[in-house]
Amino acid sequence: MKSCLTLRHVSFEDLGTLAGILAQAGFAQRYVEVGIDRLVGTDIQACDLLVVLGGPIGVYEEQAYPFLVEETKLIGERLRAARPTLGICLGAQLMAKALGANVAPGPEKEIGLAPLDLTAEARVTPLRLLEGIPVLNWHGDNLDLPQGCERLAFTRLCPVQAFRKGPNLLGLQFHIEADAHRMESWLIGHTVELGKANVDPRALRNDIARHGRMLQQTAHAVFNEWLDGLET
């Protein structure tokens, strides 16, 4: 079987619906719990696919979270080899930093469901399927476009919502992997952040219930097409 290694930063921000997609595509899956498990000695470089998930810290908080130094270095080594890598939220920010781009706090938190603006470059990628689909944003940091990458999507608050470098490297600031049936764990786990951002969990819960099924169906199509296009 093909292998997928996933770097996870908090337990409830997992592969979500992407886990089933990967299983159907023939990937054996394993999590590495960042900050707990040792990163050196894992198969970050050798696995067929690396997925780097989200989390409530910033890539620039290396003094507070020293593991970020090693994590960024190892991700960078894989990216330079153009090995298939998907970064989501914090994962996309780690990819951007590893590729030499700046990551910093944005003008305000972007939390909630809303459609993206797609670039012309996105029209020939799987992200074209997200046209008009409300996606879940849950971030406060923005990233600059790494050199040699294509910008695929943006919003008013976030100039780079998605980027890619060739067919194998894809960074998404938003969450299309989140399982609508398990989002209560996000609302509980991020309650402090929601309060500080003045986001009502009741409104967010209602939006997830309203759009979750459509988002999940679209995510399946996006991820399956991206996986089919990987060059190994």
Catalytic residue annotation: 89, 175, 177
CA 93 – CA 104 distance, rounded (Å): 9
CA 83 – CA 230 distance, rounded (Å): 9
Tell me the β-bridge partners of 8: 33
Name residue 32's amino acid.
V
Cβ pair 171, 153 in contact under 8 A: no
The residue with tokens 């790494």 is 146
Segment holding 196, helix H or strand E: helix 191-196
Helices within 26-115 (DSSP H only):
67-80, 90-98
